[in-house]
């Protein structure tokens, strides 16, 4: 079995830029910043001439906000009559890496070489290529039917995620993992009321008010949220800070790091979480309670409506067999646009 080289993927990641212009419903297809599909290659010529051929501005069509170019007027007319017939499979991404075995590497949207293609049963499939690996050759040597089945399932999961938004959300990198869209119910600015146990009895509680801001961070590749709250008794500094939430496709988990900026390092929260339903994510971690005892903490964010979500923290002293509910609890209401 040939070795699969994936190092070349590092070089296919687009430049880090904080603003993107793919304001169309098919933003997650293989398009550039101007909305050009497949680097301007004529998708009809693959079928009619069995070769990759660049199109021109003279012969182009806009479909779903995406621009398709063709080498001649006849090909343009054929596409306009039957776009689905000529569209490449899987949004124009590399077929092999869409259908790769997830135990080898997480399936991903990766740019293909437009000149590296196959027509199978009348459908166009594109493949990546690097000095180390030609994924069309790998595809031909493997179980093609299984690869195409996995690729279809993965692409359908991308299409389902894309239904969460009508266009590329502000700040999201179009090449980021689309699982970031699961955070859409929480994006924006929120006013927060938070209660937290000051001791293990639950009799003494700390009350805070503040604002919670959710954005796409690290140039659109992760979620970053910042809780800016009132300090107790007007002390200097703050017990609050930012959180970074990144998706791990290999394990289908979210790695979430909360950093209280004026606290000791051991107060940083390192959690792993998962969306258990639409608009509900849970994460767990171990920490010390106010008495220094080890405790398992479960944090939950739950969207109640487009204008409200609940944050809560539960504790378990027996590794999750039983839980003490709502050690921490906050109600968060969306800040209304006053303009």
CATH code for position 185: 2.40.128.20
Question: What is the spatial distance between Cα 298 and Cα 305, in angstroms, rounded to a whole number?
Answer: 22
- Tell me, what's the pLDDT at 48? 97
Tally Cβ neighbours within 10 Å of residue 72.
17
How many structural domains does the chain have? 2
> Is 121 within a domain?
yes
Q: Are residues 162 and 241 in the same domain?
A: no
129, two tokens: 């290529």
Indicate whether 10 belongs to any domain: no
Per-residue pLDDT at 338: 60
So what's the pLDDT on residue 36?
96
pLDDT, average across residues 97-110? 96
Whether 4 is in a domain gets the answer no
78 within a domain of the structure (yes/no): yes
Q: Which domain holds residue 102?
A: 20-168
Using the predicted structure, report yes or no on whether residue 3 has a pLDDT greater than 70: no
9-18, 235-244, 284-293: segment of lowest average pLDDT:
9-18
**DSSP-assigned letter for residue 38:** G
Q: What is the gyration radius of the CA atoms in the chain, in angstroms?
A: 24
Q: What is the pLDDT of residues 120-136, one digit of tens each?
A: 999 999 999 999 999 99
pLDDT tens-digit map of 217-256: 999 999 999 999 876 665 666 778 999 999 999 999 999 9
**Do 132 and 229 fall into the same domain?**
no
CA distance linking residue 239 with residue 260, whole number of Å: 5
Domain boundary among 136, 168, 200: 168
Dist. CA 96–CA 238, nearest whole Å: 49
Q: Rounded CA gap, 331 and 261, in Å?
A: 22
Same domain? 329 vs 194? yes
Whether the pLDDT of residue 14 is over 50: the answer is no
Same domain, 153 and 211: no
Q: Which residues share a beta bridge with 209? A: 193
Q: How far apart are CA 151 and CA 96, in angstroms?
A: 7
Residue 223: Cβ within 10 Å count = 22
Q: Mean pLDDT, to the nearest integer, of 162-169?
A: 93
Mark whether 305 and 185 lie in a shared domain: yes
- Mark whether 250 and 307 lie in a shared domain: yes
The C-alpha angle 182, 188, 191, rounded to 5 degrees, equals 120
Q: pLDDT band for position 15 (50/70/90)?
A: very low
Instruction: Name the token pair of 305.
Output: 């409506």
Is it the case that residue 13 has pLDDT exceeding 60? no
**Does some domain include residue 3?**
no
40 lies in a domain?
yes
Tokens representing 146 are 């299984």
- Which distant-in-sequence residues (6+ apart) come within 8 Å of 119 by Cβ? 46, 47, 50, 125
Closest C-alpha among 317, 276, 278 to residue 297: 317
Q: Say how far apart CA 110 and CA 92 lie, in whole Å.
A: 9
Residue 214 lies in a domain: yes
Model confidence at 100, pLDDT cuts 50, 70, 90, reads very high
At 64, is the pLDDT very low, low, confident or very high (cuts 50, 70, 90)?
confident
Final residue of a structural domain among 135, 168, 201 = 168
C-alpha to C-alpha distance for 103 and 210, rounded to whole angstroms? 43
| Average confidence (pLDDT) over 309-320 | 96
Shared domain check, 159 and 292: no
Q: Are residues 62 and 100 in the same domain?
A: yes
Is the pLDDT score of 337 beyond 80? Answer: no
Instruction: Write the secondary structure of 142-194 as one string of H (helix), E (strand) and C (coil).
Output: CCHHHHHHHHHHHHHHHHHHHCCCCCCCCCCCCCCCHHHHHHHHHCEEEEEEE
Tell me: do 59 and 160 sit in the same domain: yes
Q: Please tell me the distance from the alpha carbon of residue 4 to that of residue 314, in angstroms, as a whole number.
A: 44
Nearest to 47 by CA among 82, 21, 98, 1: 82
- For residue 119, is it within any domain? yes
Last residue of a domain, one of 141, 168, 195: 168
191 and 302 share one domain:
yes
**Per-chain mean pLDDT for the chain:** 91
Residue 230 CA to residue 277 CA, distance in Å, equals: 32
Domain shared by 113 and 154, yes or no: yes
* Residues 69 and 195 both lie in one domain: no
């Amino acid at each position: 079995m040939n070795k699969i080289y994936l190092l070349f993927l590092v070089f296919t990641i687009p430049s880090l830029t904080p603003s993107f212009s793919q304001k169309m419903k098919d933003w997650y297809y293989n398009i550039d910043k101007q909305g050009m599909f497949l680097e301007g290659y004529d998708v009809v010529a693959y079928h009619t001439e069995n070769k990759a051929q660049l199109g021109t501005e003279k012969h182009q069509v806009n479909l779903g906000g995406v621009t398709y170019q063709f080498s001649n007027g006849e090909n343009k007319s054929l596409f306009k009559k039957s776009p689905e017939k000529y569209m490449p499979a899987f949004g124009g991404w590399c077929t092999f890496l869409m259908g790769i075995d997830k135990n080898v590497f997480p399936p991903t949207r990766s740019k293909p070489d437009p000149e590296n293609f196959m027509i199978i049963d009348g459908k166009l499939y594109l493949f990546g290529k690097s000095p180390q690996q030609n994924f069309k050759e790998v595809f031909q040597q493997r179980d093609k039917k299984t690869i195409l089945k996995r690729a279809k399932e993965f692409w359908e999961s991308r299409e389902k995620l894309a239904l969460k938004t009508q266009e590329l959300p502000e700040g999201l990198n179009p090449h980021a993992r689309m699982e970031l869209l699961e955070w859409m119910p929480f994006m924006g600015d929120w006013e927060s009321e938070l209660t937290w146990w000051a001791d293990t009895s639950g009799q003494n509680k700390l009350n805070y008010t503040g604002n919670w801001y959710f954005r796409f961070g690290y140039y659109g590749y992760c979620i970053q949220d910042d809780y800016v709250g009132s300090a107790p008794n007007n002390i200097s500094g703050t017990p609050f800070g930012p959180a970074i939430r990144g998706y791990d496709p290999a394990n289908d988990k979210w790695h979430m790091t909360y950093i209280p900026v004026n606290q000791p390092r051991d107060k940083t929260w390192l959690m792993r979480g998962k969306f258990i339903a639409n608009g509900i994510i849970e994460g767990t971690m171990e920490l010390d309670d106010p008495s220094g005892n080890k405790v398992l903490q479960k944090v939950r964010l739950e969207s109640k409506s487009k204008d409200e979500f609940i944050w809560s923290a539960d504790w378990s002293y027996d590794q999750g067999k039983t839980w003490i509910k709502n050690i921490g609890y906050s109600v968060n209401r969306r800040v209304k646009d006053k303009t």
